[in-house]
Amino acid sequence: MFAALARRLAGMLIVMFIVATMVFFLTRLAPGDPAALMLGEQASLADVAELRKTYGLDQPVIVQYALWLKELLRGNLGQSIFLQRPVIVAIAERAEPTFFLALLSILVATAIGVPAGIASAVWRGRASDQAVSGGAMLAASIPSFWLGLIFIQFFAVRLGWFPVAGYGPPGASFAERLYHLMLPASVLGIVNSALITRFTRASMLDVLNEDYVRTARAKGLSEARVILRHGLGNALVPIITVVGLTAALLVGGAIVTETVFGLPGIGNLVVSAVLRRDYPVIQGALIVIAGIYVLINFSIDVMYTLVDPRVKY
């Protein structure tokens, strides 16, 4: 078991290494001199050269790459050009809204997707099944930023149920901050529920046709228990997978949603970094987010062993 997990871990590190390499070299393709960008248009040539030297930008690219990797291994993602602080600090400062937004959204998406998928599988081929499948497809076709704008207009501006934007005033209580996340989390949850719905439906359909479900019925168990204990119990592995995958995808969706709702999260950080060409921040954010994705995938694998006794590493 440990050998296999170690192999997975090694695979993760390779993926991370490739992401890091990709990010580094792609950034070098960008037009413009980072040093010049940092100092602004009025800077003298001497100042620019000076800065190039401090950041090692006068070295050959391959040396810069090696240096960068070395710093990366020590957890140093570099220095933000505009924020005057290390990238890792900038990201850490913005992590809270993103984390809770993702968490709430995944709860919303699961709360919609799993019951809808189960109902759809149980009543396969009937009107409710078609409604659920159509609804899932619709949810996957809605741009999250647009739904956010519409929700803001309706629920916040017209009805006044939720704050229009932001994360509460400085020093706002945790409850108040969560309240600010309700609307964005609903948007992100709805848009991302589709995959969970479809996967739940498909795996429940598979499972409900299994012989052991017939056995469960032959035992005289109630239909609810047959479906939830014996059906869902066996469909958990694919459902956990898709919930995990959705969680990883949410991080991407969060970028756009945060912008719409003016949440001071990592997404907002990335978007402003892109608009200001703050490359170290973009690079850092990409690596952190890829790391989260890889970690989630790894956790899914570990969770399999807990849910399905047949999975042995």
Partner 1 sequence: MSAMTARSPVRLFLQRLFRRKLVLVAVIILLVIVLLAILAPWISPYSPTGMRVSQRLRPPSLTNWFGTDEFGRDVLTRIIYGGRASLGIGVAVVMCTMLAGTVLGLIAGYFRALDAVIMRLVDAMMSLPDILLAIFLVAVLGASAGNVVLALSIVYTPRVTRVVRSSTLVVRELPFVEAARALGVSTWRIMTMHILLNVASPILVQATFIFAYAVLAEAGLSFLGAGVPPDIPTWGTMIAAGQQYADRAVWLVLFPGLAIVFAALSLQLLGDGLRDMLDPKLRKAL
Partner 2 sequence: MMETSVQERPLLDIRGLEVTFRTEGGDVVPVRGVDLRVEAGKTTALVGESGSGKSVTSLAIMGLLPRPYGRVSKGVAEFRRRSGAVVDLASAGQGVVRALRGNEIAMIFQEPMTSLNPVMTVGEQIAEQVRLHMALAPQAAMRHAVEMLSLVEIPDAARRAGDYPHQMSGGMRQRVMIALAMSCNPRLLIADEPTTALDVTIQAQILDLIERLRKEHSMGVLFITHNLAVVAEIADTVTVMYAGEVVEKANVRDIFHNSRHPYTAALVDCLPERARRDSNGRRIVAAIPGSVTSAAEATGCRFAPRCQRAVEACEAGSPELLVAGTGHEVRCFRWSEA
- Residues 250, 110 contacting (CB under 8 angstroms): no
Q: 14: buried, middle or exposed (CB in 10 Å: 19+, 13-18, 0-12)?
A: exposed
Among 1, 2, 31, 84, binds partner 1 (CB under 8 A): 31
Among 119, 122, 251, 269, binds partner 1 (CB under 8 A): 251
DSSP state of 228: I
Q: Which listed option, partner 2, partner 1, none, makes contact with residue 245 (CB within 5 to 8 Å by class)? A: none
The answer to the question of residue 26 lying near partner 1 (CB under 8 A) is yes
Could you tell me how many residues of this chain bind partner 2 (CB under 8 A)? 21
Which residues touch 43 (CB under 8 Å, ≥6 apart)? Answer: 36
The answer to the question of residue 230 lying near partner 2 (CB under 8 A) is yes
Phi, psi of 79 (to 5 degrees): -115, 135
Tokens 């800077």 locate to: 43
Nearer residue to partner 2 within complex by CB, 13 or 307: 307
Q: Closest Cα partner for 119 from 108, 130, 110?
A: 130
Q: Smallest distance, Å, CB 309 to partner 1?
A: 26
Stretch that binds partner 2, among 47-55, 98-106, 227-235, 297-305 (CB under 8 A): 227-235
The answer to the question of residue 212 lying near partner 2 (CB under 8 A) is yes
How far is residue 198 from each of residues 110, 135, 167, 215, 249, measured CA to CA in Å?
A: 12, 10, 33, 26, 16
What is the spatial distance between Cα 88 and Cα 161, in angstroms, rounded to a whole number? Answer: 36
The answer to the question of residue 169 lying near partner 2 (CB under 8 A) is no
What is the spatial distance between Cα 262 and Cα 161, in angstroms, rounded to a whole number? Answer: 17
Q: The tokens of 30 are what?
A: 């960008």
Nearer residue to partner 2 within complex by CB, 54 or 222: 222
Nearer residue to partner 1 within complex by CB, 140 or 178: 140
Q: Smallest distance, Å, CB 296 to partner 2?
A: 23
Q: The tokens of 81 are what?
A: 């050009």
- Residues 12, 299 contacting (CB under 8 angstroms): no
The answer to the question of residue 182 lying near partner 1 (CB under 8 A) is no
Q: Report the interface residues with partner 2, using CB under 8 A.
A: 210-212, 214-222, 229-230, 233-234, 236, 307-310
Q: Report the interface residues with partner 1, using CB under 8 A.
A: 14-15, 18-19, 22-23, 26-27, 29-31, 125, 130, 134, 137-138, 140-147, 149-150, 152-153, 157, 202, 205-206, 248-249, 251-253, 255-256, 259, 270-271, 274-275, 277, 279, 282, 285-286, 289-290, 293-294, 297
